[in-house]
Amino acid sequence: MELPIDDGFIAVVKRDCPTCGLVAPVLGAIAEHHSVIVYSQDDPTFPEQITPIDDRDLDVSFALDIDTVPTLIRIEAGAETRRLEGWFRPHWQAVTGIETLGDDLPELRPGCGSRTNDPEVVDARTVAAIAGHLASRTIEFGAHEDDHEAMFERGWTDGLPVVAPTPARVARMLAGTTRDPNDVVVLAPPDLVECSVEKIAINAVMAGCKPEYLPVVIAAVEAACTDAFNAHGILCTTWFSGPMIVVNGPMSRSIGMNSGVNVFGQGNRANATIGRALQLVIRNVGGGRPGEIDRAAFGWPGKYTFCFAEREHDSPWDPLHVTRGFAPDQNTVTLFAAGGLHPVVDQLSRDASQLANSFARCLRTVGHPKNVFIWDAFLAVGPEHARVFREAGWSKDRLRDELAARLQIDGREVIRGADDIAEGMPEGFAEHTLPKFRDGGLQIVHCGGEAGLFSAIIAGWASGAVGSEIVTKEIRP
């Protein structure tokens, strides 16, 4: 703001503050020697010792970035040169040059919180600032309705309680992105409904996200609604799958995502709510509800939320987004149609080749041991297993190539009827050597806790054009 004086003092006070009442006479004393302008946050008649200016709308307080009252600001040559908060007599005497100022007052009294910090004030201003940009209608519940039960009854939840998306909460959420609330991000499947930034923010609120998570949620929605990822197909299939989100780049650390201990489990707000927000968007905007268009025969708990960060800081390899063509300092989400989690234990192998053999045997079972190049998969390598490969000098490409070599399968083993198992590949594949995974169908990430010689296989849905592709999108502010 343009300061109202070139030389003197600006003070900001409120009557509902004992320390402001204490210094009211002091402000009158300062006015006998200097130009003083006083803004009152709650009572235009306070203080009586000097004529105040009404700042009940707090425009000046916000412009001056007032955090505590009383605040005394020294202005020299039209610029702020010193700021005092609360009352400390030696400082007030020094900055005003009045040696006897407040000699009859206690030496020290802390100030009070500025009204600019009051939650209801912040909410009101946040909503007012974005008024006219919000397009969603407000649904009023009855006076005797319980908000949580009302949202359950209207089918807005995933079976767990959600946070009521009030205008203030949605406005705060939208502060997490620079994008216009009315920007249409995608056509959300299965109903192909226009899904705006605002609609995503509403569901992010319901999921329990913080505003700083919103850009990640938007990117996840963008990735999920591509033809390549095929969210509609993932919903319609009777297979188990739901979207898995892997977050890479500096942002995963700045918003506090978990990439370590219990990486796929509960307890981390960002991991839990980002994935949940994507599912709620598909449900509430796109219409993808279980038992209707969502026809999964079993489903799995990951369909509530399955989101984690890659453990990049001590990985022996380039992170996932770099192997997929992005720069290390870019922030990305990678989406995968995950159908379940299979733990891998090998506590004895200290040789990279031996450990690769273990991984290959376990990977053979993805989908079915006799199905080949139908399913994609992620191999999540834990830090203890990753250390074996680091010490052997194996790159991620080397590990992938070694696994591919071990997963070349004699067609006679996988045709229908072989080993007295009806499931399998058509008879025509008997004379061929077949890869378990298509090119690019096996991805490797580094994550998990330090203790334990464990890794994990995350099985996918049908791969490629008949199912879902792995999709990586950059996160925009």
Per-residue model confidence as pLDDT tens for the chain (477 residues):
788 999 999 999 999 999 999 999 999 999 999 999 999 999 999 999 999 999 999 999 999 999 999 999 999 999 999 999 999 999 999 999 999 999 999 999 999 999 999 988 887 887 777 767 778 888 888 888 888 899 999 999 999 999 999 888 999 999 999 999 999 999 999 999 999 999 999 999 999 999 999 999 999 999 999 999 999 999 989 988 999 999 999 999 999 999 999 999 999 999 999 999 999 999 999 999 988 888 899 999 999 999 999 999 999 999 999 999 999 999 999 999 999 999 999 999 999 999 999 999 999 999 999 999 899 999 999 999 999 999 999 999 999 999 999 999 999 999 999 999 999 999 999 999 999 999 999 999 999 999 889 999 999 998 888 899 999 999 999
* Residue 139 lies inside a defined structural domain of this protein: no
Based on the domain organization, do 307 and 177 belong to the same domain?
yes
- Residues 231 and 277 reside in one and the same domain: yes
What are the Cα distances from residue 430, in Å, to 171, 200, 237, 369, 421? Answer: 61, 49, 29, 15, 15
**Pairwise CA distance, residues 282 & 222, whole Å:** 11
Q: What is the DSSP letter of 103?
A: T
For 50, the domain range is: 8-116
- The answer to whether residues 230 and 293 belong to one domain is yes
Nearest in space to 461 (alpha carbons), one of 400, 387, 374: 374
Angle separating helix axes 197-207 and 214-224, nearest 10 degrees: 110
Q: Of 242, 266, 224, nearest to 339 (Cα)?
A: 242
Question: Looking at the structure, do residues 297 and 384 belong to the same domain, yes or no?
Answer: yes
73 and 13 assigned to the same domain: yes
State the Cα–Cα distance between residues 192 and 208, nearest whole angstrom: 25
pTM of the model: 0.82
**Domain boundary pick from 99, 116, 133:** 116
Residues 109 and 152 in one domain: no
160 and 89 part of one domain = no
Q: How far apart are CA 58 and CA 348, in angstroms?
A: 67
CATH number at residue 100: 3.40.30.10
Residues 459 and 412 in one domain: yes
Return the SS3 of 54: strand
Residue 1 lies in a domain: no
Does residue 228 fall inside a structural domain?
yes
Same domain, residue pair 224 and 346: yes
| Number of domains composing the chain | 2
Whether residue 173 sits in one domain with residue 219: yes
